[in-house]
Structure 1
Amino acid sequence: MARRPSGILPVKAQGLVIREAHFPGRAPIDAYGDGGFRFADMSHRGSLLVLPSGIHGWDPSRPGDLTMQAFAPVFEQSREIEILLIGTGNELVRIDEGLRQKFREHGIMADSMATGAAVRTLNVLLAENRAVAAALIAVE
């Protein structure tokens, strides 16, 4: 039997490994619709959270899912965020006043709008190198 150099373990076959969706950089959104987004030569099915730490898959799928808990990653990175764009789907839905107050307490100006408008605004602000983040509910 051949010896392996120390520290090298045999490779074992594994099934499909599912990891949390995360792109570790800032990138404009190239397209949206059909339940997802395209950015950085990739596609993602579902909603997105665009933060200073990168682009993350995000659980909310409708405006009723926009809770304090859903925005926890935004609050964690609030020192690097001045503007938060909230894409609420096909229609503009105003976010809860308590949530708006929490954003203000963290020094974040939050603005809700339809997802398409949020994507377009995000791309402009990214091009201007602004301290922007976005919470985008996917649309069909």
Structure 2
Amino acid sequence: MQEITYAEAQPIDGYGPGFFRIMDRLFHEPLLVSPWSVRGWGGLTDTATPLTLAGRIDVLFLGTGGDIAHAPRTFRAALETAGIGVEVMSSPAACRTYNLLLTEGRLVALALLPVEG
């Protein structure tokens, strides 16, 4: 096995019921994670925060908690109009996908809702 390195990116170190661990810090709220920052996110009604990434990322992985749920039409439309692709999946799958694409140097970000439990 080969150790994965992320240069200066912000990988997801772990997650569980109600929390995410990033760079050895615990977070208990919805988050917007990019290779260069981690910040709170207002959830599916907050389009403004992810739009700040326009021109800096190609794809936003939307982690909708423990199960896959549809992104609100207005949320998806606003991001896609700004040139950001949106991929919806459960939060655990979104974390794994984000970490993998970080190792490839892709321009990705992650909007996460915690897994209930």
Output the aligned Cα RMSD: 1.5
Aligned 1:22-101 pairs, distance under 5 A: 26-60=9-43, 66-67=44-45, 70-101=46-77
Q: TM-score, normalised by structure 1?
A: 0.71
User: Unpaired segments of 5 or more residues in structure 1?
Assistant: 1-24, 61-65
Paired residue for 1:115, among 79, 83, 91? 91
CA distance, structure 1, for counterparts of residue 16 and residue 74 of structure 2: 30
Partners of 2:10 and 2:34 within 8 A in 1: no
Q: 1:109 to 1:98 in 2, by over 3 A?
A: same
1:80 Cα shift?
0.1
- The aligned length equals 109
Structure-2 separation of matches of 1:28 and 1:97: 28
Normalising by the residue count of structure 2, what TM-score does the alignment of the two structures yield?
Answer: 0.84
Q: Per-residue deviation at 1:53? A: 4.5
Q: Counterpart of 1:80 in 2: which secondary structure?
A: coil
The separation in 1 between residues aligned to 2:76 and 2:41, in whole angstroms, is: 19
User: 1:51-97: per-residue Cα shift (whole Å, max 9, x none)?
Assistant: 3540112233xxxxx12xx1212112211010000000111001122
Identity of aligned residues (%): 38
